[in-house]
Structure 1
Amino acid sequence: MFRDWRRRRRIGKIKPGGGRALKPFRWWQLFSRHLFYLDLAARPGAPDPAAATTVAAPPSNSDPHLDAGGVQRYAVHVNWWSWDDDGNTVAELYRDGRQLSTAPVPAIFPVPGGTIEVALSELGLKRMHHVTDDGASQTLTPDPRSGEGLRARFGQHYPRASTWIGHLAVLVLIAAAAVELPQLLELITSWEVVEERMGTFESPITLPAWANITIVAVSILAGMERALTLRHHWLIDGGAIIDALDP
């Protein structure tokens, strides 16, 4: 019931797009933009679930990603520097190169035969999936020039190295949590207001500041690796409480 309510609420936040053209991805936008594509067969005569959120726009033949074979190309664009009035990052849905609608992230965009779900983590994307009406889910195709696209190409060319890097990222995050959480707990319980109610905790691990900074930096890199491959687990990557409370 809660999931259905949250889904309806997110769909209700969709706003009509202005019909502007999708800008191509540039190399200097590697860490500020996310761009993914989804090709869906056109359904002549079928109602468009996104029609109510669409602003009419002239057709465009300038988009190099268009397919003239009866296929509509949807694109989802997320710019870390694009916010709504409430300070939320905005996701944009394009169809055949024209802006169809926008919504704050996390977002759900209805498309023919299902929805596109978009969600961010602290370090990048954690969800960019097409979910069909029967529940099947698949990741959208990243733009080949984006960070996710470059990472996917590396995985295709060097699958074994890619797998090891993914495993290493998980191990780094688990090890970092095992080392840093006890120290953090010791710090929190040293606060007078906490100490009076809960007592103190002495961490079995105490590292110098430079070592803790290094661990945090490596953990950020590991988190970015997982974000580039759209891998996310609440226990490894965190954010479970935020996810549960985010409408």
Structure 2
Amino acid sequence: MHGLRKANIWLAFYLIVGANSIQAAELTRTQVEQLLAKADKQHPADLRRKDLTDLDLSNLDFRNADLWGADLRRSNLNNSNLQGLTLDVTVMTRIKLSGANLANTSIFGVSLMHADLSNADMSGSRVVAIMDGANLSNANLSNVQWAADMKNQSMGLMRASLKGANLSGANLHNAQLGRAMLKHAKLVNANLQNADMYSAEMDGADMTGADLTNANFSEAKLHDAIFAGAILQGARFDGAKNLPDSVKPASAQ
């Protein structure tokens, strides 16, 4: 029953992230700029559920916009400011968000597969998304909560998926990774100091086959984390708690 429940949750998740339209963009960049120019916190630019696919929206300030449920696939939002927004149920597959400010955002039920988030700032955000194959190299992911709100027990079983993602050089200091799927991800030179990889509800962070060369796990909480087949050359585990048996002492330098 538990496995069926989890399967149903993930089925709902995939239906959510794939539910947006496939028609052409409804607005031009100029129209989006005009909406943003007139907006404020009390009267945000209404971009809810808008199809904004393939648009160049780089270097724009969206902090006074409502993007809930918008379709942003393949759009260019490089260096744009989305700080503090609720981006739940948006579709951002293959979106360009390099250098963007996504600090303290809510990103739930979202497809960010193969997205470019290199050098982006996602610090302090809550992220439950499919990010397989995404580029998060050198991104600021400190204090990110990679899990749903545990007050909702069904949604709390969901895992952020980062399979095959590139997190080389990323800052994951103090990140909550207990329900993150990191199979075959690249975390070369990543900073995971004080990261929490423990999950009371299921196995911890799954780093099966991941490249953890020179990654820093100092003071990290590793109970139930999975390192099967991971590359651990040069990885540091100074002061790490509950070091799994699969991590040989020689690797904990």
TM-score exceeds 0.5 = no
Higher share of residues assigned helix: 1
Q: Which structure features the higher share of strand residues?
A: 1
Larger RCO (CA under 8 A, 6+ residues apart): 1
Give the greater-gyration-radius structure (CA): 1
User: What TM-score, normalized to structure 2?
Assistant: 0.25
